[in-house]
Structure 1
Amino acid sequence: MTRCDGWSGGWRPAAVVFDCDGLLMDTEPCWTVAEREVFARRGLPFGVEQKELVIGRSIEQVGVAIAGHLGEPAAARSLSAELLGLVTEVVTRQAQAMAGAHALVELVRNAVPVAVASNSPRALLDAALARGGFAGTFGVSVAADEVAEPKPAPDMYLTACRRLGVDPAHTLAFEDSATGTRSARAAGVRVVGVPSLPDRPLDADLVVGSLLDPELTAWIGTWTGSWTGSWTGSWTGSRP
């Protein structure tokens, strides 16, 4: 990580909103299993190009994307339903919490209110949180089927901030995908990016390799005390 002064002067969030899939929960392999099966049923390969097509999107958006890729736009709804059934089964059976997720969430919860905002529908979000041991952790949670437009629209973050009672400008998001990062930025929320595809950079304010990043946890540890130093990290934004 390179030194920067992007958040020097004492900025810290009044609340934090976490993404779920690929950020708190290692569900991307589960999604990949389900997505690969959808393609395999049609005799088609599934690789990096196809994964980039769907990562971070809501189940409806994924259905539209796959249908377009297959040249079958009318099949979007049925593809979404097929994929949702497959991924729910896999998540419920084998999804695990990301390394460092529980410790980081607890560290943040000790300092500021927290929420989770996921592009998964409510049933799948609850299944993932329960499987990972996060049930009851978040007083505020927002699912894709509870807003007018899912990520990358700002609705999910604006809804989470409203329910938390905080200004988006005073809120920090944790995201792993470009879709989620765009959503947070559109809502005026600062973003820590933890890329689930390491070779695909995120347009986040701060980018770290994992939730275990020691400088990240050290910075969060200052939120409950007086802050006199400067953050050192990979600053990519221009906000003060």
Structure 2
Amino acid sequence: MTIEAVIFDLDGVIIDTEEVWEDVRRQYVASYGRSFLPDTQDRMMGMSTGEWSAHLADEVGVPRTAAEVAADVLGQMAERYKSDLPLIPGAVETVRRLGERFTLGLASSSARVLIDQVLATAGLTGAFQVTLSTEEVPRGKPAPDVYLAVADKLGVAPAVCAAIEDSSNGLRSAAAAGLAVIAVPHGVYPPAEDALAAASLVIDRIADLTPEEVAALR
């Protein structure tokens, strides 16, 4: 058995946006006189658009429907990405380097509009054979749905895929789908110990990942 495909997460792996997401959503919630619950930020990491917008509407109490919350926040995020994309150093080069040896997919909790904008701004449109948002599968991370769907669309078994993830829910999702998991822990939002334990390889920087390390996972 050998690794045939590599499936990247987006936020926290290619772009460093957790702080941007937190800033935009906190300001949005505050504009309605509300504030995050103690566990809101941790819970939303890895959630699909429908899941986090429902959380902000139904549990945090923003007086808008979940659909309206999603449209508002996604619009603000897309505008930021057009002019100020926080690429993680070495991420674009790593995508291209791994793409020379492996088939590439992308499994993101971001909405489709944001995935497409990020790839366009980063010059990575076409680098991935398959890109999927968790809004395009039944359940968001930590459920395995998005990774299983990407592997299926790539035409490969999950067991011959490697996933690159940073968050607790992302790591859990990839592990539950049966992929070999590579963790790139986020410095500000480190994954939980149980989630990190599912990783076969833990690296400090995405820029350091080599095709040889990926191939050695199986």
RMSD of aligned Cα (Å): 2.6
Percent identity at matched positions? 34
> Structure 2 CA distance, aligned partners of 1:20 and 1:89?
17
Quote how far apart the aligned CAs of 1:167 are: 0.9
CA distance in 2, matches of 1:91, 1:41: 21
Corresponding residue SS for 1:212: helix
SS at match of 2:206: coil
With normalisation by structure 2, the TM-score equals: 0.84
Match for residue 205 of structure 2?
210
1:77 maps to what in 2? 67
Residues 25 and 138 (structure 1), Cα distance of their counterparts in 2 relative to 1, 3 Å cut: same
Letter in 2 for 1:59: T
Kindly report which structure 2 residues correspond to 1:1-240, keeping only aligned pairs within 5 A, or say none.
12-45=2-35, 49-71=39-61, 75-196=65-186, 197-201=188-192, 202-203=195-196, 204-205=198-199, 206-213=201-208, 216-217=209-210, 220-221=211-212
CA distance in 2, matches of 1:89, 1:15: 32
Give the deviation of 1:101 after TM superposition.
0.6
Q: Could you list the runs of 5+ residues in structure 1 that have no partner in the other structure?
A: 1-10, 232-239
What amino acid is aligned across from residue 107 of structure 1 in structure 2?
R
Q: Secondary structure at the match of 1:106?
A: helix
Aligned length: 213
Determine the C-alpha separation between the residues in 1 that align with 2:38 and 2:203: 22
Q: Give TM-score, length-normalised by structure 1.
A: 0.77
